[in-house]
Amino acid sequence: MKDKHKAHGKEQEKPDTKTTEEEESSLICEAKEKIEDLKLLSLSLKQEKEKAENYYSQLISLKAEFDNYRKRLEKESAQMASYGKKSAIKEFLPVMDNVLRYEESLSEGEPADVEGLELIIKDLKKALVSSGVRQMDCMGKEFSPLIHEAVFKEKTNDFKNNTIIKIVGNGYYLGDEVIKPAMVAVAENMPEEESDDAGNTSNDSNDE
């Protein structure tokens, strides 16, 4: 009787093989589902990453376009301001030249007029300098068609050929740009024979 009872107890302790297989199968299914979920999540992250990279590229491109537009706008604004400034100065320079000519024409017997005019000219020159305008220093320099305009040539051997011997109208720079070429008279050397003839003619007229 006792042996039968022991045998019956051992049969009860024996594991249920069917239940264990179902549990293992369930766990495998859950694992497969999680793996699929991870694959989908990974794919979704990859797609989102590509979108983000695409948006970033578009943002960089838009920023570059905006920077180019801003630089172009600043350049055009500066050019317009420079053009307006240049135009105003060009209109003013002939007036300045006329004032200087008038100063030269005044006699020493009009000190009050000369003094008042000198003050005006000083103020005008100061305004030009503050605007970036410089007067050319041409006298005695070699003629250059880039910055000078020859009004006439004077035959002489007292100066080197093509030397500027007289300023007819002042020239000016705006920064490094020629805004008004200088109007000048230029020396033209003569052959020795012609120079001697000119000298003799001059002496004959003096003797008379």
In a domain, 14, yes or no: no
- Domain CATH number, residue 105: 2.30.22.10
Do residues 164 and 76 touch, judged by C-beta distance below 8 A? no
**164, β-bridge pairs:** 186
* pLDDT score recorded for residue 180: 92
* pLDDT score recorded for residue 15: 53
Number of domains in the chain: 1
Q: Which of 80, 102, 88, 101 is nearest to 179 (CA)?
A: 88
The H or E element containing residue 154 is strand 148-155
In a domain, 26, yes or no: no
Q: How does pLDDT run along the chain (208 residues), one tens digit per residue?
A: 445 444 444 455 555 565 677 777 777 787 778 888 788 888 788 887 787 788 778 778 877 887 786 788 777 777 777 777 788 888 888 888 888 877 777 655 555 566 777 788 888 888 888 888 989 999 999 999 999 999 999 999 999 999 999 999 999 998 888 999 999 999 999 887 665 555 555 555 455 5
In a domain, 2, yes or no: no
Maximum CA pair distance of the chain? Answer: 180
Tell how strand 182-188 and strand 148-155 pair up: parallel
Residue in this structure with the two tokens 């220093």, named with its chain if needed: 137
* pLDDT score recorded for residue 45: 80
* pLDDT score recorded for residue 22: 73
Q: Which of 143, 132, 130 is nearest to 178 (CA)?
A: 132
In a domain, 93, yes or no: yes
* pLDDT score recorded for residue 152: 93
Q: Which of 156, 157, 163, 161 is nearest to 138 (CA)?
A: 163
In a domain, 13, yes or no: no
* pLDDT score recorded for residue 154: 92
Domain that holds residue 87: 80-201
In a domain, 140, yes or no: yes
In a domain, 12, yes or no: no
In a domain, 25, yes or no: no
